[in-house]
A = this chain, B = another copy of it.
Amino acid sequence: MPETHSDLLGVLAARLGAKHVIVDPAAMEGYLVEERKLYRGAALAVVRPGTTEEVAFVVRECAKAQVAIVPQGGNTGLVGGGVPHTGIVLSLARLDRVREVNAFNAAITVEAGCILKTVQDAASEVDCIFPLSLASEGSCRIGGNIATNAGGVNVLRYGNTRDLVLGLEVVLADGRIWNGLKGLRKDNTGYDLKNLFVGSEGTLGIITAAVLKLFPRPKAQVVAFVGCASPHAALGLFESLRRTMGDELTAFEYLPRFALEIVLRHASGAVRPLAGDHLAYALIEVSSPDPDLDLREQLERSLGAAFESGTIEDATIATSEAQNAALWHLRESLSDVQGLEGGSIKHDVSVPVSDVADFIVAASKACEEALPGVRVCAFGHFGDGNIHFNLTQPVDMERSLFLAQWERFNRIVHDIVHAMNGSISAEHGVGLIKRDELARYKDPVALDLMRTLKQALDPQNILNPGKVVAVTGDLPPALPVARKA
């Protein structure tokens, strides 16, 4: 370690306390390896400030020493955005206070290190919901959710994380604190600074706190599971429900037959929802804050009409909270059970909602032609046009041989997405994994605008360097040295 770096760590330890500047390799381990074990990072230290002012101090000192900073929340990201390859990891985990809950303004002010579940629970205490909901909600932290503009299962009704943010507090690359913690529904006093930081994956500033929207808690909620003959039929159903039920339609999740099969094969407690076999399934949730609304009757009426017109083949509507949960269990088990069928090549893509069925059909066909026997597991947030277009290895293939074809399938799938004016990263972000893929597909003017913004806001390139967009920086190297595990 160069002397300047040990000086830096000494300065940080003097302000934060030695125990919050971690250099012990064993203690650092959890901050260096990410969720999918695709990368192992390296860092001088893990630094854990406890307040916004301490975050600002750390950034100022790192800026002085020209040492890179990788901000980290719960380290649950799926694109390698939190993996360090030099410099320090700045963990926000100790900034975990709920600063204010204002049910009357339908807003909550939280620090970046709050676990998502904590935010949900604080909303619940005032009979509201914070609607962001995703698989890692018990361990991901809200700062990371905001920095990656996380999606999840409630986007159809409540929007992406971006849409849930009213205000932000951000430490800039030079250590200044921007206090934008306003809880306003309307504010046209100049440029929209907050959306610049939301989704920037820690490359433009470090989010330390946020004001988030709350919503009335739904008092009525009904879940249905529907079998259709094709993704196009499912799209027809979605369109008709959207037309008649509007925002009561909270979720419209898609599963192909293969997905339901592997859930029923592996997931504990999974029960077959419909007697027959269908090519395409949809999980539908409707909800309303009005407890007197007969949602079940409304949904029955809509699904009845869809059955009569031949749009759907079969459907079941839950009659209790427990049945609601049992149907959701089928969808939520899917992430875990895929691994039990062997290697999985994953894509997180979106297309216009009108094209989502065409996309599933075209991309499935192209992949099955490219590798006979490959098992397409294209599922997800159909109503948002967001498909997790995952490929499970052929039954008899060597796992590593299959995974070696990741780049080849990227090209097949992403070319189709691109031709449909879609996105190669719908909800997981860019990070390391998709940085160079983005450079291939993104409009060059847009990429150049991104570089302009990065250079304007972080001229030393010390905030999460090498992630999202490559810029020419003196320090550290633009390309990460992380290696695949």
Contacts and interface: CB of A to CB of B under 8 A. Distances in A.
A446 B167 CA distance: 12
B449 A105 contact: no
Given A180-B443, A446-B178, A290 B244 contact: yes
A184 B422 contact: yes
Contacts of A425: 187-189
Given A180-B443, A183-B352, A456-B455, A424 B189 contact: yes
A215 B247 CA distance: 10
Nearest to A157: B247
Most B C-beta atoms less than 10 A away, residue of A176, A239, A244, A425: A244
Interface stretch (A27-35, A314-322, A426-434): A426-434
Nearest to A204: B191
A187 B423 contact: yes
Contacts of A301: 292
Contact of A151 (B104, B186, B426): B186
A193 interface: yes
Interface string A71-83: 0000000000000
Contact of A242 (B107, B216, B455, B468): B216
A298 interface: yes
Given A163-B163, A187-B426, A426-B186, A178 B289 contact: no
Contacts of A452: 456-457
Contacts of A469: 190-191
B185 A353 contact: yes
Nearest to A128: B243
A303 B444 CA distance: 55
A353 B105 contact: yes
Interface string A129-164: 000000000000000000011010001100010110
Nearest to A423: B187
A177 interface: yes
A443 B386 CA distance: 38
Contacts of A247: 246-247
Interface string A48-74: 000000000000000000000000000
Given A216-B242, A353-B105, A385 B185 contact: yes
A382 to B, nearest CB: 11
A195 interface: yes
Contact of A178 (B106, B189, B430, B445): B445
B192 A427 contact: no
B196 A216 contact: no
A123 to B, nearest CB: 14
B242 A188 contact: no
Nearest to A383: B185
A461 interface: no
A450 to B, nearest CB: 5
A405 interface: no
A386 B447 CA distance: 37
A102 interface: yes
Given A106-B353, A192-B195, A192-B199, A384 B445 contact: no
A134 to B, nearest CB: 13
Given A105-B352, A354-B102, A430-B189, A246 B288 contact: yes
A186 B423 contact: yes
Given A106-B353, A452-B456, A456-B455, A190 B423 contact: no
Contact of A427 (B178, B188, B195, B429): B188
Given A245-B289, A445-B177, A196 B192 contact: yes
Contacts of A384: 185-186
Contacts of A183: 352, 421
Interface of A: 102, 104-107, 127, 148-149, 151, 155-156, 160, 162-163, 172, 176-193, 195-196, 198-200, 204, 215-216, 218, 235, 239, 242-248, 288-293, 298, 301, 350-355, 381, 384-386, 421-430, 434, 438, 441-443, 445-447, 449-450, 452-453, 455-457, 468-469
6 contacts: A105-B353, A149-B192, A155-B185, A185-B353, A195-B195, A216-B243
